[in-house]
Amino acid sequence: MSTSSTKHDPSAATDAPTVAAPAATVMDPPSTATISAAAANETAETAAPNTEDRGRHPLPPGLDPALLEGLSKNARKKLIKDHQWQLKKAERVVHRRDERKAKAEKRRLMREQGLELPPRRGPVVKPEDMVPSGVTLLIDLDFDGKMIDKEIKSMCKQLLYCYAANRRTTRPVMLACAGMSAELEKTVETQIAEYKNWPNFPFHRESYTSAPGIDRSSLVYLTADSPNVLTHLEPGTTYVIGGIVDHNRHKRLCLDRANKDGVKHAQLPIGEFVALNSRKVLTINQCVEIMINVLQNGNDWKAAFETVIPQRKFKEGARNGSAEPQDRDEGQDDDEDAVAEEAGEKSAGSSASTKRLLGGQDADGADADVERDSKRLKADGESASSDADRPSA
């Protein structure tokens, strides 16, 4: 029996499929034109203004993205915030108008039902009930170069409260501002656009020593650095208040200015009547309110201080004691947050001190009320240049 053997032929074909290796893809080098186009697109994307503030916050409508180029992070945030405030200004006006209509309707229904009406805010005194005091309070605005934007805005709000306070007294003073630069005027128009319609509260470009209708010899600059203390307010005298909000950076600023200009100076007699905490903060409008109260209450300085200055500023148990003289100029403020608090305005909403300064009115309605008061005074025939309210020469 023969045995057959089978020899393996390596060259023999097999039924197993053969997997071919993938062929290498050979890419052509990019042309010079392609490289140039890509570089141009990248440059254009980099140079194009970012419409989302570097991808973090979408920009409000109407704000040109090009305005943000080259600005720091804080500057961009400030610009966006200011633009958003302007966009919502019209909405606030409509909202205030609707609120006034709703309140008027509520009071009408309460009258029909015989219910007791809630008290209104402090009434605006009619012109025929006013007796001009003959005293002029002149606010020196020639300090805008020494304040940052936030401080200038706080100062503008304080001017509004000065006007409101003078509208609610039977012994009004002649209010005026002097030394307003063209740059400051732009900010004032943004913050209180209706100021040009305020009767008996003119804003002058001239310095406080040469303002129209002001007798230079009648000037008395109020500064806490002065050794002279006021005892009473004299008709025919113009008392100058430094229109500055600062962090107490500028020492003896108003006193040095008064001495340089050869103007008399004095300080309010706070230390003679009340004792305050270490923080002697007086805003511009508080200086004005104190002097208006003194004229109306018969020269009672103590009552005026206690009415205007917040109670928390008095030393505990020392209401009748004496206090050291103020370490700052009248009308200045060494704390920016205190300015906002004392003037009654924080960055959002209104506070109790706002309602006190405006007779119970919310800060959001202050602009509309001031404008309405201005129109009412004009209708009553009161002129912005009334000789009756000017001091005698």
Contact criterion met (CB below 8 Å) for 388 and 132: yes
Closest CA relative to residue 320, chosen from 303, 308, 307, 296 = 303
Contact criterion met (CB below 8 Å) for 215 and 391: yes
45-50-52-56 Cα dihedral, nearest 10 degrees: 80
Please state, in angstroms and rounded to a whole number, the distance separating the CA atoms of residues 45 and 200: 56
Phi and psi angles of residue 291, each rounded to the nearest 5 degrees, phi first = -70, -35
Please state, in angstroms and rounded to a whole number, the distance separating the CA atoms of residues 326 and 241: 15
Please state, in angstroms and rounded to a whole number, the distance separating the CA atoms of residues 353 and 213: 34
Concerning whether 369 is annotated as a catalytic residue, the answer is no
Catalytic residue, from 144, 225, 246, 369: name it: 246
What are the b/e assignments for 341-364, b being 16+ CB within 10 Å? Answer: bbbbbeeeebbebbbbbbbebbbb
Q: What residues are annotated to the active site? A: 246
